[in-house]
């Protein structure tokens, strides 16, 4: 693979430099590990009840199909008092439907919006619509987040923001996928038990680096896999 320099976070670097200096778990898996996935270790901090939580939206476990809030339903952010209600379902932008470097970057941004929605709601419907069935990273984070939304539990926080991405060459690999190196920040996550006890929280995570392999077929992008660098 070519190692010609790219503009990454405003600095000229090669893909190998990024691999060596920014190696981290994926945004999805790092947070899942911090929330207690058995095979992982993270920055989780146990806390007692009464710790204030940010006004970040979360909702109770979703049904099998994603249901958009009604036009009159008010969006209620999550807090220590309970999960969010009527969380807006992310909408894929037209730019993310283009088979171009710009379109792929727009798709990657949208994909993380669907993951943020899953943190808020426990609903992976939108993410699954734009992810392949063999996406291993998707499956790992779904297992943990879904459990944290089950039986009256809820999460506050976890919103993911793409702060930069690099597409070294806009040419497909032999398997037909395009690779995107993405840097993501994630807000702290607060995990509440059904009785309102704050069971666990994670720190603000900055500079998580993921590799996304996406495929363009039938007029749309699909995330075939998402993995961290570490």
Check if the beta carbon of residue 156 is closer than 8 Å to that of residue 190: yes
Going from N- to C-terminal start, the domains of the chain cover: 16-59+91-228
Helix, strand, coil percentages for the chain (3-state, nearest 5): 25, 30, 45
DSSP H helices in the chain: 15-21, 27-34, 101-121, 125-129, 136-148
pTM of the model: 0.75
Which pLDDT does position 143 carry in this prediction? 94
Which stretch of DSSP H or E encloses residue 224?
A: strand 220-228
Which pLDDT does position 73 carry in this prediction? 87
Bridge partner list, 112: none
CA 100, chain centre distance (Å) = 22
Which pLDDT does position 3 carry in this prediction? 39
Which pLDDT does position 46 carry in this prediction? 42
pLDDT along the chain (230 residues), means of 10: 41 34 52 51 39 37 53 85 95 98 98 97 97 94 95 96 95 96 96 97 94 97 88
Buried b / exposed e across 134-151, counting CB within 10 Å, b at 16+?
ebebbebbbebbebbbee
Which pLDDT does position 92 carry in this prediction? 98
Output the DSSP codes for 171-184: S--TTSEEEEEEEE
Which pLDDT does position 107 carry in this prediction? 98
Residue 185: CA atoms inside 13 Å, Cβ hemisphere, count?
A: 6
Which pLDDT does position 26 carry in this prediction? 63
Would you identify the CATH topology of the domain 16-59+91-228? Nuclear Transport Factor 2; Chain: A, (3.10.450)
């Amino acid at each position: 693979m070519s190692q010609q320099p790219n503009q990454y976070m405003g600095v000229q670097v090669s893909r190998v430099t990024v691999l060596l200096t920014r190696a981290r778990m994926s945004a999805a898996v790092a947070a899942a590990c911090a929330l207690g996935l058995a095979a992982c270790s993270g920055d989780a901090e146990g806390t007692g009840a009464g710790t204030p939580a940010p006004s970040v939206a979360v909702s109770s476990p979703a049904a099998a199909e994603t249901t958009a809030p009604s036009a009159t339903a008010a969006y209620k952010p999550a807090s220590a008092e309970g999960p969010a209600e009527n969380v807006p379902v992310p909408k894929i932008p037209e730019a993310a439907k283009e088979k171009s470097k710009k379109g792929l970057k727009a798709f990657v941004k949208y994909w993380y919006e669907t993951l943020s929605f899953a943190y808020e709601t426990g609903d992976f419907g939108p993410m699954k619509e734009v992810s392949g069935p063999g996406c291993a990273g998707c499956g790992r984070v779904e297992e943990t987040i879904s459990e944290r939304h089950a039986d009256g539990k809820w999460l506050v926080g976890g919103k993911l923001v793409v702060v930069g991405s690099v597409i070294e060459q806009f040419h497909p690999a032999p398997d037909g996928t395009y690779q995107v190196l993405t840097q993501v920040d994630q807000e702290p996550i607060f995990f509440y038990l059904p009785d309102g006890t704050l069971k666990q929280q994670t720190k603000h995570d900055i500079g998580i680096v993921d590799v996304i392999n996406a495929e363009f077929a039938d007029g749309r992008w699909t995330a075939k896999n998402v993995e961290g660098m570490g």
